[in-house]
Structure 1
Amino acid sequence: MASKYLLKGGTVATCVQGSDAPQVYKADVLVEGNTITRIGQEIAPEAGVEVIDCENKWITPGFVDTHR
């Protein structure tokens, strides 16, 4: 079974194809294995899901850490 993580309460920044401006909003992100399966408000964790508190942290799906 793939690992599941719920990133709670982070600030999500995404880029939309065809737009010059990123979308920035507060949300929860559910990750199953290496795939984001849901982004939404107040996602309730299921049994076996590791919850990670992301309050005051940025969640940037698809960005690459260029500092390494």
Structure 2
Amino acid sequence: MQLAPEEYNYNKESEEITLNEERSWLIPFIDGLYIEKGIGATAFAKEWNKISKTAEDKRWTSKQV
């Protein structure tokens, strides 16, 4: 079970959240699609699936977005 969004890491022992360098590209990608293009969650998931899977190697869904 993932406790933090994919672009962050959660440390249970210290209860700290840090940036996940491997997934940090998601933040500007989200900004670009939502702010600049105004697309919704379903279209968002379709765009993500063209370039990447989730950290669990699955396809993105609108619920995850």
What TM-score, normalized by structure 2, do the two folds share?
0.21
More helix, by proportion: 2
More strand, by proportion: 1
